[in-house]
């Protein structure tokens, strides 16, 4: 009853560790083998070997192209046990999720797109929000594997989990931008940003972004939990979906441009709370 786990990076490593700790027989693969070894899982030399005969495969790779390459171009998915659960928890685009679901089901596999929210703290604590798209029976079958990782919300059919993740990401991106503007306005107006954050956390403006990323901005702690370059990947995908549906989403477009500019100025590998730095640059402010 082996479970394959592909991708043990910042998010994948604690997720894999929690799955191992739950008692699952996990065979992990990562491009850097030492990261897979640290999870406590048995380590496979290749993704194909990790998947060989597995009854389920959890994927936490960087993006859609990486998933396509590893799962389908390298033949990894074809090595899973017939009827296996293929659970892609990577942040992939909505069209990619629909395409991959069609390929997987055509191979006789059970597909779930199940991206997550909560960042590395929630991954470590096993309290991720898991947004699942797929058949109800398949998601029910996957519950023993997903429960150690967090709370599952079944959104709807294949692709809706990936769509919900994009909706989550545009909400996060625009809120980070607003919180960064609030911190700059507080400082420029002579108020202590830390006291402003404390006050706002007791009112209607309170949010997880204000709580966690507002504190990061105050401390200038931009060690990546979620690198800014991944935010642009997600805002790009969301803009493509919006354009395909004929929607105009100006706040999404603005947030996308701000994060794009942050990356252009060298902030791609910083936490997405580092958007504060781009807004400070635009206003001629220096620390």
Contact 133, 155 (CB under 8 A): yes
Q: Which of 92, 44, 40 is nearest to 66 (CA)?
A: 92
Which H or E element spans position 81? none
Q: Which of 183, 174, 117 is nearest to 150 (CA)?
A: 117
What's the full length of the chain, in residues?
Answer: 287
Q: List the structure tokens of 148.
A: 């150690």
**Catalytic (active site) residue 147:** no
Q: Which of 35, 49, 81, 165 is catalytic?
A: 165
Residue carrying the six token digits 């209607």: 204
How far apart are the C-alpha atoms of 51 and 2, rounded to whole Å? 9
Q: List the structure tokens of 73.
A: 């171009």
State the sign of the Cα–Cα–Cα–Cα dihedral 125, 151, 86, 229: negative
Render the burial of 128-149: b for 16+ CB within 10 Å, e for the rest. Answer: bbbbbbbeeebbebbeebbebb
Give the strand pairing for 150-156 and 128-134.
parallel
Q: Which residues are catalytic?
A: 165
């Amino acid at each position: 009853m082996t479970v394959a786990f592909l991708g043990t990076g910042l998010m994948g490593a604690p997720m894999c560790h929690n799955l191992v700790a739950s008692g699952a027989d996990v065979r992990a693969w990562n491009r850097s083998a030492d990261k897979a070894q640290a999870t406590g899982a048995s380590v496979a030399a290749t993704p194909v070997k990790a998947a060989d005969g597995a009854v389920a495969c959890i994927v936490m790779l960087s993006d859609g192209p990486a998933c396509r390459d590893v799962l389908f171009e390298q033949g990894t998915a074809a090595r899973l046990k017939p009827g296996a659960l293929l659970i892609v928890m990577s942040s992939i685009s909505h069209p990619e999720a629909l395409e991959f679901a069609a390929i997987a089901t055509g191979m006789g596999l059970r597909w779930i797109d199940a991206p997550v929210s909560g960042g590395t703290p929630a991954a470590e604590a096993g309290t991720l929000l898991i947004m699942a798209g797929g058949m109800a029976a398949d998601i029910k079958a996957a519950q023993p594997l997903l429960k150690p990782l967090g709370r599952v919300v079944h959104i709807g059919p294949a692709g809706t989990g990936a769509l919900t993740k994009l909706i989550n990401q545009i909400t996060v991106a625009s809120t980070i931008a607003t919180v960064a503007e609030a911190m700059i306005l507080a400082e420029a107006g002579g108020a202590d940003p830390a006291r402003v954050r404390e006050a706002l956390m007791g009112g209607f403006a309170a949010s997880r972004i204000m709580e966690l990323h507002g504190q990061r901005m105050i401390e200038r702690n931009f060690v990546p939990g979620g690198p800014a370059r991944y935010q642009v990947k997600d805002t790009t995908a969301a803009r493509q979906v919006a354009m395909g549906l004929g929607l105009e989403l100006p706040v999404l477009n603005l947030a996308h441009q701000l994060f794009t500019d942050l990356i252009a100025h060298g902030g791609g590998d910083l936490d997405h709370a580092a958007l504060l730095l781009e807004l400070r640059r635009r206003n001629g402010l220096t620390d």
